[in-house]
Amino acid sequence: MSLLATLRIPADADRLAAVRSFVRETAAAHGVRPEAVPDVVQAVDESVCNVIVHGYAGDAGSVEVGLHREGDDLVVRLSDQARPFDPTSMPAPDLDVPLAARRPGGMGVHLARELMDEVRHRVPPGSGNELTMVKRDAFGPIKTGR
Amino acid sequence: MDLTVEQEPGAITIFALTGELDYSNFEQLVDAARQAYQQGARRLLLDLAGVEYMGSSGLVALHAVAMIFSGQEPPDPEEGWAAYRTLTDDVEGHTHEFVKLLRPSAQVVNVLERTGMRQFFEVHVDRSAAVASF
């Protein structure tokens, strides 16, 4: 797996736009299929936002976004020192029922899991969180749907 | 995100949004809707043609705006989706009557659809038709 680029931001929601720009620009510079980029941008935005809002919850800290290439897959790795929380443990919301019957929270997590092919979480040595998200065939040929 | 306000006859207000709608600015939209409602607006068309990106925070804003135009004060967004249980009577089984969407981008439509929220909003592609639909 080769590292394409990393970005470290303070845990501040005002930096989310910079994160999205970083993902778009890095993806474009390294030849990620254009149709895959919006999914990755949104998954990263939602996941970083969750770390800032729920992980750090107002405390100072930072989030590192790493973009890697593994074969034709784009691998995103988010690292933080917030309290350990595994977003993949959250049950998916039932979108066929009215709002009232849905479990609270988790829309950002749901979107990240919808938009990426794989989402994994682990608590690295020394605590914090490491979230790995994979977009398969992000560097592959353009799919025509035929 | 920038927001410009236009008026149409019949207490119809149009918010034209441009830029990116995320956690850092979604409350601007809610505040603008609250202010417009307090000043007498009763129908709101959200022109989303200029919205280049909308995160899930934008969904919270859309529902808060819909609550305001239904005459209710939206809950604190920090309470999450649980707080939106109070909205059920207005949205269950039908679309919002007083808040409609105009020309959302494919990305915005994708977010609405993937979260099951598309069903709650009437979406228009033509401004005149959207205004006339209220």
| Nearest-CA distance B124 → chain A (Å) | 23
| Nearest-CA distance B74 → chain A (Å) | 15
d(CA B7, CA A54): 38
Pick the CATH number of B2-132 from 3.10.180.10, 3.40.50.300, 3.40.50.1820, 3.30.750.24: 3.30.750.24
CA of B16: how far to CAs of A35, B19, B45, in Å? Answer: 26, 10, 8
pLDDT at residue B88 in the model? 44
pTM beyond 0.95? no
CB contact at 8 A, B10 and B130: no
pLDDT at residue B89 in the model? 43
pLDDT at residue B86 in the model? 47
Domains of chain A: 2-135 (3.30.565.10)
Residue B4's Cα: distance from chain center in Å? 14
pLDDT at residue B22 in the model? 95
Kindly determine whether residue B23 and residue A17, on different chains, have CB atoms separated by under 8 Å. no
**End-to-end CA distance of chain A, in Å?**
30
How confident is the prediction for chain A on average, in pLDDT?
90
Residue from the list A53, A96, A99 with its beta carbon closest to the beta carbon of B85: A99
Report the candidate in B16, B28, B15, B83 with the shortest Cα–Cα distance to residue A13: B28
Q: Name chain A contacts of B111, Cβ cutoff 8 Å.
A: 42, 111
Report the candidate in B65, B128, B15, B39 with the shortest Cα–Cα distance to residue B7: B15
| Nearest-CA distance A101 → chain B (Å) | 8
CB contact at 8 A, B102 and B125: yes
Kindly determine whether residue B53 and residue A16, on different chains, have CB atoms separated by under 8 Å. no
Find the closest chain B residue to A20 by CA distance. Answer: B53
Find the closest chain A residue to B105 by CA distance. Answer: A38
Size of interface A-B (CB pairs under 8 A): 75
